[in-house]
Chains A and B, each alone.
Chain A
C-alpha cells in the first residue's frame, strides 16, 4: 500500500533526469570523446526499438490488443526512408548509375514510377507515416468491424506480417528483395558515415522518444485513455455504454502504427541497412518480450525492456552465441512467473515484500493478541 505513492512521487523527476541525460548529456559526452561513436550509435538503435515497444504497449498493455505485426509497421517506415536514401546514393553506387544497384543488377534501365517521388525528402517523410497508417487503417477496419478479438487478432496480425515479409523477399516488388537496401551515403546533404551526422540522428531519436512518452502520457490520462483501458477490461460494457469501440480501437491502432513507423525511419539511417528479415514474425515476438520484461501497461517499461534486452543481446550473442535464444526465453518465463509488473514494477514489488516481512516481524515480536484470527483453531 505504501509502496505505490513513493514510486509514484519519484517518477516524474526521474523521467526528466533520464530525458535530459538521453537527449543532452549522452551526445555531449560523445562530442567530447567520452562516449564512443559505436556506443552512441548502439543507443540510437536501442531507443528506436524502445519507441516501437511503446507502440506495442499502447495496443497490448493499454487496449488489450496483442499485435504481433508491429515490426511490419516499423520496417515499412524504414523502407520508405530507405527509398529516399537509396536515391540519394546517386552515381556513387557500385555500378555508377543513377539507379540503385539492385535495379541495375536486375537489368532495369529506368527508375520505376513509384520510386520517382522519393527523390523528395518531404514526400518520403510523409510516406513514412501514410503507408503504415493506411495499411493499419484498412487491416484494422476489417478486423475490428468483424469483431475479431483476442488471440484471433494476434494470429491475423502475425499472418499479415508473414505475408508482407514474403512479398518483400521477392525481387519483382523492386524493393531490393532479400538484400533490402544498404550502402546509404547522405541524408539531407549530410554524410551518413561521419560521427556528427550520426549524433544528430541520435538526438532526433532521443527527442522523438521523449515526445512519444510525453504524448502517450497525455493520451492515456485523457478520457480516451480511460476508454482504452475500459475496452481492455470489459469491451462489452463499453459497447453497451454507447461507445463505438471499433472506432476507438482503429484510432489507437493507426496511431501506434505511425509511432512504430517513425521509429523505423530513424532506425534505418543509423543502422545503415533494411531488409525483409526485420519484418518477420520473430522480430515482432521479440518486441512483445521487451514489453513484457520491461513492464506492460506503463510507458517507461517498454523502453526499459527494449534497452535492457537488446543490451543483454549485444553481450550474450558475443559471449554465448548459441545460448541467446534460451537466455531470452528463460528471462521471459521468469518475469512472467515472478514479476507480473516487469522490471519497472520491481521497486514497488520489493517494497511490498519488505513491508510484509516487517509486518510479520512485528507480529512475531508482539505477543499474540486475542483478536488474532490465525490463533483460533477452527
Chain B
C-alpha cells in the first residue's frame, strides 16, 4: 500500500512453539536510517522476532522483505542474511572468549568470507585503521590485546557492538544492550547507539525505560505484546497509552 521504500518490512508474521504463539500476525516496517526501540513484557516475542529476521528460526506464515522488497529474507540462511548487511548482537554477550579483542574484530571485518581468503588474505592497513577507530569508539583501545573472556560484562557488550560496526552492517539488531550494566555504562551505551544513529539503521530491544527514554528522544517506539504490535509512537505517547499501561508498564510499576 505504502509507496515509501522500507528497509525491512514484516507482514503477517506468525510463529508458534508447541502451540504457544510467540509471534502472532506481526506487522513491522522500518525505514532506512531509523533508530527504533522495541519494548514489551517478557514473552512478548521480541527475541523471537530477531530470530526470524536473522534466519535462526523460520516463521509459520508471513513475509519478511529486505531493502524495499528486493530480497526475501525467508529464503536465505543465517550467513546469507548477514551478508546482506544485517548484524545482530545477542542478549547475552556472545564474543569469542579465547580470542583477543582485536582478533574478535578481525573476524567481524567486512570482506570475503571464503576459506581461501581466510588462509591467504592479509589484513590491509585500511582495515587496521578501521579496527583502531572501532576500538576507540567502543572504548576498548587499552584492552586490544586482552582475551575477550577476561573483559567485564559491560565491555563484552560493547565489543559485540564493535563487531557489528566492523561488519559495516546496514541494520544493527541490538538485543538488550544494557542488560547487566551499571547506570553509568548504560548511559554510555545509549550515547554510543545515538552516535551511530543515521549512519546505520538500528533496532534496539530493551526493558530499561530510562534507557529507552534516553535513546528514543521522540523517535518511534514499538510495543510488542503477545507477539503482536500493540502500539507505535513516541515514547511519551506510548507510555500514556492505556493498553500499554495495562499490559506492560502498569504491571511493571506494580511489581516495582
Contact = CB atoms under 8 A, between A and B. Distances in A.
Contacts of B79: 239-240, 242-245
B118 interface: yes
A226 interface: yes
B122 to A, nearest CB: 9
Contacts, number: 68
Nearest to B93: A237
B6 interface: no
A222 B123 CA distance: 11
B99 A236 contact: no
A11 to B, nearest CB: 19
Interface stretch (A79-87, A185-193, A227-235): A227-235
Interface in A212-271: 219, 222-224, 226-227, 229-230, 233-234, 236-245, 247-248, 251
B115 A247 contact: yes
B108 interface: yes
B82 A242 contact: yes
Q: Which of B54, B96, B99 has the most CB of A within 10 A?
A: B96
Interface string B153-188: 000000000010001000000000000000000000
Contact of B107 (A227, A244, A247): A227
B96 A234 contact: yes
B98 interface: yes
A243 B113 contact: yes
A241 B163 contact: yes
B115 A242 contact: no
A345 to B, nearest CB: 15
Contacts of A219: 119
B106 A226 contact: yes
B73 to A, nearest CB: 14
Given A224-B119, A243-B79, A237 B96 contact: yes
A240 B89 CA distance: 9
Interface residues of A, number: 23
Given A226-B103, A234-B96, A241 B115 contact: no
A244 B167 CA distance: 15
B99 A241 contact: no
Q: Which of B87, B98, B121, B167 has the most CB of A within 10 A?
A: B98
B195 interface: no
Contacts of A239: 78-79
A223 B119 contact: yes
Contacts of B167: 241-242
Contacts of A251: 115
Interface string B173-214: 000000000000000000000000000000000000000000
Contacts of B87: 240
B115 A248 contact: yes
B83 interface: yes
Given A223-B118, A236-B94, A244 B113 contact: yes
Interface of B: 54, 78-79, 82-83, 87-88, 90, 94-99, 103, 106-108, 113, 115, 117-121, 163, 167
Given A222-B118, A223-B107, A229-B98, 18 more contacts: A219-B119, A223-B119, A227-B107, A229-B96, A230-B99, A230-B107, A234-B95, A237-B94, A237-B96, A239-B78, A240-B88, A240-B90, A241-B107, A241-B167, A242-B79, A242-B82, A244-B113, A251-B115
Interface of A: 219, 222-224, 226-227, 229-230, 233-234, 236-245, 247-248, 251
8 contacts: A223-B119, A227-B107, A229-B96, A230-B96, A234-B95, A237-B94, A243-B79, A244-B79
